[in-house]
Amino acid sequence: MNGLSLSELCCLFCCPPCPSRIAAKLAFLPPEATYAAVADESGSRWSLRFTERAEWQYGQRELDCTDIFLIRTSRGNRIACMFIRCSPSARFTLLFSHGNAVDLGQMSSFYIGLGTRINCNIFSYDYSGYGVSNGKPSEKNLYADIDAAWQALRTSIDKISKITSPVLIIHGTEDEVIDFSHGLALYERCMKAVEPLWVEGAGHNDIELYSQYLERLRKFISYELVNVQRN
């Protein structure tokens, strides 16, 4: 019964008992949030801020390789997701569902150590009601949480390795709709990718306004595609 006071137990079993509510109370023990997701001035990109209780064991380099973003589940909750690029040579990403009494902040150092040791990137998420995820923890919300996390991890990634023609990936680092981590993931998995273009400061709807966008497209069409056809 760890985490429940006597008054909470009395309320739980006497009001009258509801199986789903009892299960939720006993199975989910969300801690006080050990991190914050701080939005930039545009409100489109998030950065991590840890509290002391997170016990962060690394430095800025590892923090720069850790992305956090929010996604919407089918039940309307907004949950936090964390993607950690643990190794530049990693071929796989591990989807990790953490325990019932911790949040992403407490798990982040463990994820980095684990991913580094097994040469694998780590993707994890906070359940509804955990960390900065809203809603309440419940069995139904849990199913929606894991489904949303899985879909976020898979989006555009599953099919990219099957493409046989040259692929140019262009992505703005401040994309507020499709997080920049998705562009990186696509590039890492694409067997036919040419040199990508990461447009510093570009968002989702203004990337074509940057001069390097047109220049890179011109090079791709005029040289890289032409050379492939000749060969």
- Domain residue spans of the chain: 30-154, 160-230
Angstrom distance (rounded) from CA 172 to CA 168 = 13
Q: What is the pLDDT of residues 175-231, one digit of tens each?
A: 877 778 888 888 988 888 999 999 999 988 889 889 999 899 888 888 888 776 555
Query: In the structure, what pLDDT confidence band is assigned to residue 110 with cuts at 50, 70 and 90?
Result: very high
The dihedral of CA 198, 199, 202, 208: what is its sign? negative
* Top CATH class, 30-154: alpha beta
Q: Is residue 57's pLDDT more than 90?
A: yes
Q: How many CB atoms lie within 10 A of CB 57?
A: 11
Closest CA to 176 of 74, 59, 46: 46
